Chain A
């Protein structure tokens, strides 16, 4: 288990990579229009399977929503 901050919440997650994190959270990595940043830097979609996560990482998972 890895302790990380995901979308502002501290959590223990069994995930080694960004792609595994999505699956662990029940998010299909093929979902369109998702974007992810780890420690303040965007991780491109092509890198999700290979980008490893470390304890203490801060992860943002976002998508477009209604806005003005």
Chain B
């Protein structure tokens, strides 16, 4: 059953984006990406170690994935824009996961600077996917300046706390003019399934896979969670009721 996701004119079969950080080793990373079915994988842009450098991550990913560079850790518009421009030069892609962090402890986005950076980068012809607060107004502003998608947080980055405010995520999904990718906070496969059931178009997971006891299994679980959640969303859940509704026929009951 074809159910493609289209972001900025690019058609994606997988609705799971996967981060590449924190795996036990590079082989596990590669195996997890394979098991996840992801087409989009995130990378960071960092200063090279001047002592030398090993095999490039990008060489390992071998053109099999669409790389989505991030501006993780950037705290000013200037640093985020320069990192974005370096990413575009290094990877020859317009796509960018824009992060603009306002607080080192919580890694919460700095919304005011985020919208300004997004606006500037869209004008510089980037395809901007911003990591943002789970706030419909912020998401609308980001869409208004031309972001290709919005990526509201489920809960804090790396926290594994799942979706702290499902009502807000559902509201964002119901109103967003651009695809919604649930980013941050995913702890296990049911969190990813819930995100999809709430109406998200895709999910980005990293730590939940990389730091699980068995990353390869979790990558497969996350894939199944996203697929199951998406199917359930399309199928439509039944209304919740306060009382029981017998599922077996009431006529012909023995003893009546």
Interface residues of A (CB under 8 A from B): 6-9, 25-27, 31-37, 40, 42, 44-45, 60-68
Write the chain A residue with the least CB distance to B205.
Answer: A68
A42-B89, A68-B21 known; A37+B82 contact, CB < 8 A: yes
Interface residues of B (CB under 8 A from A): 19-23, 29, 42-48, 50, 52-53, 56-59, 67, 69-70, 72, 78, 82-83, 85-91, 157-158, 204, 206-207
**Cα–Cα, bound, A25→B53 (Å):** 12
A7-B47, A32-B58 known; A67+B70 contact, CB < 8 A: yes
Which residues of B are found within 8 Å of A36, using beta-carbon distances?
Answer: 86, 89
Which residues of A are found within 8 Å of B89, using beta-carbon distances?
Answer: 35-36, 42, 44-45
| CB-based contact B53/A64 at 8 Å | no
**Cα–Cα, bound, A18→B208 (Å):** 40
Contact of A62 among B19, B48, B158 (CB under 8 A): B48
**Cα–Cα, bound, A40→B157 (Å):** 28
Contact of A64 among B29, B69, B206 (CB under 8 A): B69
| CB-based contact B91/A64 at 8 Å | yes
Write the chain B residue with the least CB distance to A9.
Answer: B50
| CB-based contact B48/A7 at 8 Å | yes
| CB-based contact A66/B50 at 8 Å | no
- Can you list the 6 inter-chain pairs with the closest CB atoms, starting with the nearest? A67-B44, A68-B19, A68-B206, A35-B90, A35-B89, A66-B21
Contact of A7 among B50, B53, B78 (CB under 8 A): B50
The minimal Cβ–Cβ distance linking B184 to chain A, given in whole angstroms, is 8
Most interface-central of A8, A61, A68 (chain B CB within 10 A):
A68
A63-B56, A67-B19 known; A34+B90 contact, CB < 8 A: yes
| CB-based contact A61/B47 at 8 Å | yes
